[in-house]
Structure 1
Amino acid sequence: MPIPPTDPGLDRGLLRDDVYRRLRDAIVDGTFAPGEQLKDLELAAWLGVSRTPVREALLRLAQGGLVLARPGRSTVVSTLDARDIRDARDVVAAMHELAVREAVPALLDGDLEAMREANHRFTAALGSGDVEAALRADDELHGVLVRIAGNRALATVLEQFTPTVRRAERLRFASLRGRDSVRQHDELIRLCAGGDAEGAAAVAYDTWHSLPSAEG
């Protein structure tokens, strides 16, 4: 069958992971609202791919709690359920704690500088009210530690559950509470630079675990 036009300007050779990330990001940033019905045919046309990678992506999103997939019926974007957010938050916090503990002994000066630069961008984004830029910078900062840790199982768990946390975290970064993260980042970097793996791991855990478990 002919491939539908690619409206978002994506490569027609889009991989399954790319479809998943595009749909995941559209849910996290609110493009697809809680309760909105997702139809694989419409999504396939939007992305310019066949229905197969879309269906696979929706199954992955269901595993991460971002959508509710009901076989033979509809697939809808999940609501921000307090229990789901709390569960995801606890798992994500524990994974970042482990990542820091494993990464600190292997950090180089360049890695620490990358974290500092990310925190500068994070601070500037908060000051200008740019939530998307703040989240990107936050991902970059913590991503340094996840990358250095090199734990593939840990990274897989984070990929599955971080999007649920990010949906709620957008609320924090849109408020003055996001300022707390700047101080936590500074302390995290200071401890990492000093080689204090346990102290840095504790700060990383608290940073993620301080996220509220519900809206408001």
Structure 2
Amino acid sequence: MDRSLLRDDVYRRLRDAIVDGTFLPGEQLKDGELAEWLGVSRTPVREALLRLGGSGLVVALPGRSTRVSTIDPRAVRDARDVIAAMHELAVRQTTGQLSDDHIERMREANRRFAEAVDAGDIGAALDADEEIHRIPVTALGNKALETVLDQFDPLVRRAERMRFSADGHMSVELHAQLIELMAAGDVEAAASVAFNIWHTLPAEADVPTADLQSGE
């Protein structure tokens, strides 16, 4: 596998393992064990942990260990607000500009999202949700905006998982509103929905944590 593709794959797999609770908040992550688990060398694992640290999903303690971060409501709120602003900007600048193929791909992704929610497949729901919102972002082609989303999105995905686990049906409706407003070229209404979608996310929830022993 190309090195950049391997690096991105390792990052996504570790990110998803944190988001889905495979690795609990507070759990220690050892690059050697992770490399063995993923079947890769330690280098892409270390690079992935650095990226995850920048996103706030892991915390590195100098000379001690790297652990999965606990869910900090303020950090989630801050990341959520930044992401909402970025998606509002992407929607504002692409509404009325997307092709019929873009719109149909968003509709199809929302259909898959609805099916995943009904089936209780939260992982598939998260993937479909990400695809819906990424279509306007990719169409816009603003690399600075994409960089900001890449940094803060992983932290917010944990809050999304909580919401979709509780009830994702409201998101199905909000997605549908967004898509049809974009198809109709209603810039202000579409931008407003895009912004408000992210503010339905909870900033805190009761989550399990790994047992933290002093000196581990």
1:8 corresponds to: none
1:5 corresponds to: none
Shift of 1:207: 0.3
Letter in 1 for 2:76: I
> Is the 2:96–2:184 contact (alpha carbons within 8 Å) kept by the matching residues of 1?
no
User: Where does structure 1 differ by over 4 angstroms across 4 or more consecutive aligned residues?
Assistant: 11-14
Shift of 1:12: 9.0
1:132 has 2:123 as partner: yes
Which of 190, 194, 201 lines up with 2:184 in the alignment? 194
How do 1:60-79 residues align onto structure 2 when only pairs under 5 Å count? 60-79=51-70
Q: Flag structure 1 segments of 5+ consecutive residues without an equivalent.
A: 1-10
Counterpart CA distance in 1 for 2:51 and 2:131 is 23
1:7 corresponds to: none
Give the structure, 1 or 2, with the largest relative contact order (CA under 8 Å, sep 6 or more): 2
> Is the 2:122–2:165 contact (alpha carbons within 8 Å) kept by the matching residues of 1?
yes
> Is the 1:125–1:133 contact (alpha carbons within 8 Å) kept by the matching residues of 2?
yes
Counterpart CA distance in 2 for 1:174 and 1:128 is 11
TM-score (structure 2 length as normaliser):
0.89
1:85 has 2:88 as partner: no
> Is the 1:121–1:137 contact (alpha carbons within 8 Å) kept by the matching residues of 2?
yes
Shift of 1:53: 2.3
> Is the 2:96–2:183 contact (alpha carbons within 8 Å) kept by the matching residues of 1?
no
Q: Alpha-carbon deviations, 1:93-114, whole Å to 9, x = none? A: 1111111112223201111111
1:154 has 2:127 as partner: no
RMSD value, Cα? 1.6
Q: Alpha-carbon deviations, 1:106-131, whole Å to 9, x = none? A: 20111111111111111111112111
Letter in 1 for 2:79: A
Letter in 2 for 1:136: D
Q: Flag structure 2 segments of 5+ consecutive residues without an equivalent.
A: 207-216
> Is the 1:12–1:49 contact (alpha carbons within 8 Å) kept by the matching residues of 2?
no
> Is the 1:12–1:48 contact (alpha carbons within 8 Å) kept by the matching residues of 2?
no
1:182 has 2:172 as partner: yes
TM-score (structure 1 length as normaliser):
0.89
2:94 corresponds to: 103
